[in-house]
Every structure is written in C-alpha cells, then in structure tokens.
C-alpha cells in the first residue's frame, strides 16, 4: 500500500469519526430498559440476528445505498425498468415499516433528545445507575425508522431539579448507525435551509401590507 492510498484510508476513517459525533436536538420515540450484565450477550445476539424484524427497514436502505452506482446505471440505460424497481422498493419499505411497528417501538415523538450516532442525552424521570447498561428502542420521525441498541449510562444527574441522562451506544448495527447519521444530516440541512430562508426574508422585505417578503432568490433544496 502506497502513501497516497494510506492517506486516503486515514482521511475516510477521520470523516467517519466526525460523522459519528454530529449532534442535533430532536423529538423521537424512545423506550429505555435496564439490562443485567449477564443478559448482555444474549441481547447482542438478538440485535445482530439477521432475521431480526426491528431493523429490517434500515438494512434494506443499506443494501440499496450500497448498490447506488448500479441503480444510477439502470436509470440511465433503462428508465422504465428503474421506475418500476423504485415502486417495488417503496412497497417493500412500507412492509418493513409495518413489521417494525409491531415490535414494541414508540409510535409518537414524545421524547426530546440530543442525538448523534455515538449516543444521546435526555431529561427524564427514570434514573439509571452510572456505568450500567440499558436497551434503547428508538423511533426516528417522520420515517418511523426503528433502531435497537445497547447503551452505557455515562452520566446520571440525580440531584438537580432536571434529571439528565447521557448514553453512549456500545452496540449498534452498522445499518442503524448509518440511519442515525442520515437522519441527523437531514435535520441539519433543514435547519440551515430554514435559517437561510429567514435571512432572505429579512434581506428582501415586501413593502406591501400583509406580505412577508419581496421577490427573492430561490434556495436550492438539492
């Protein structure tokens, strides 16, 4: 391996680390349950089971993303076939989501968290012992993306009026981690777009009564 290839691999590793630590505030569906140390191995096996239904949607997306070059080629050479494949993929995703919904995940975004692919923090009433393990069942909206992980409690403030808990994901399937990264990036993009829209509204005020803004440059959403 030459130096250029080594530098490229190291840069890819650094970029992956950066992506893991991007954080954002979000409302999610969340269920936490304490894990006894002796149950950790069996729970890991359950999460990693290829037939596990909870992460089916994320696994399907990971396979689709892996074959993105082939999809692009198909769209170029056979657009009609590619369009039909997209219809089939959508139907499969709907089925995968319906299967996941039956696995005991929350169906409402009722918990505010600070989320990254590395872990999350939240204010909640239940207290977990510091350094203990918990099973986290996470639902990301609006896609209803289900994620099941083992997390370690790295912060548990019990004395303050607001009880703050911080969790570090210690076992998370690759497809689920990528789903969190994709979700965080999507929310960041929407937030930046909203900020830019507000800046344009302020820069191009509409003098007519009751109007928000004059004609202004259109933001691209791609």
The tens digit of pLDDT for each residue in 34-69 reads 998 889 899 888 888 766 666 666 776 777 777 778
The residue assigned the tokens 């007519």 is: 208
CA 26 vs. chain centroid, Å, equals: 10
pTM, two decimals, is 0.69
- Choose among 105, 101, 107, 98: nearest CA to 136: 105
**Better-predicted residue by pLDDT, 5 or 132:** 132
Residue 77 has pLDDT above 80, yes or no: yes
For 64, residues 6+ apart whose C-beta sits below 8 A from its C-beta are 71, 89
Distances (CA, A) of 165 to 72, 100, 114, 123, 169: 43, 26, 11, 6, 13
User: Where does residue 54 fall: left (phi above 0), alpha (psi -120 to 50 degrees), or beta otherwise?
Assistant: alpha
Residue 220 has pLDDT above 70, yes or no: no
């Amino acid at each position: 391996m030459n130096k250029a290839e080594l530098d490229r691999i190291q840069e890819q590793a650094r970029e992956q680390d950066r992506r893991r630590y991007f954080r954002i505030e979000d409302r999610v569906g969340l269920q936490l349950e304490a894990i006894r140390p002796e149950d950790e191995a069996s729970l890991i096996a359950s999460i990693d089971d290829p037939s596990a239904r909870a992460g089916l949607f994320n696994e399907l997306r990971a396979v689709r993303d892996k074959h993105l070059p082939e999809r692009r080629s198909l769209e170029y050479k056979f657009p009609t076939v590619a369009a039909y494949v997209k219809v089939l993929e959508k139907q499969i995703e709907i089925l995968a989501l319906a299967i996941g919904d039956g696995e005991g995940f929350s169906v409402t975004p009722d918990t505010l968290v600070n989320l990254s692919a590395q872990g999350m923090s939240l204010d909640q009433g239940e207290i977990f012992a510091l350094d203990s393990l918990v099973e986290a069942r996470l639902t990301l909206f609006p896609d209803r993306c289900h994620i099941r992980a083992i997390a370690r409690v790295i912060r548990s403030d019990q004395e303050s009026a607001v009880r703050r808990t911080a969790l570090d994901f210690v076992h998370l399937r690759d497809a689920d981690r990528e789903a969190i990264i994709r979700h965080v990036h999507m929310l960041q993009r929407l937030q930046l777009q909203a900020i830019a829209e507000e800046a344009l509204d302020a820069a191009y005020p509409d003098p007519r009564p009751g109007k928000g803004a004059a004609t202004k440059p259109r933001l691209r959403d791609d």
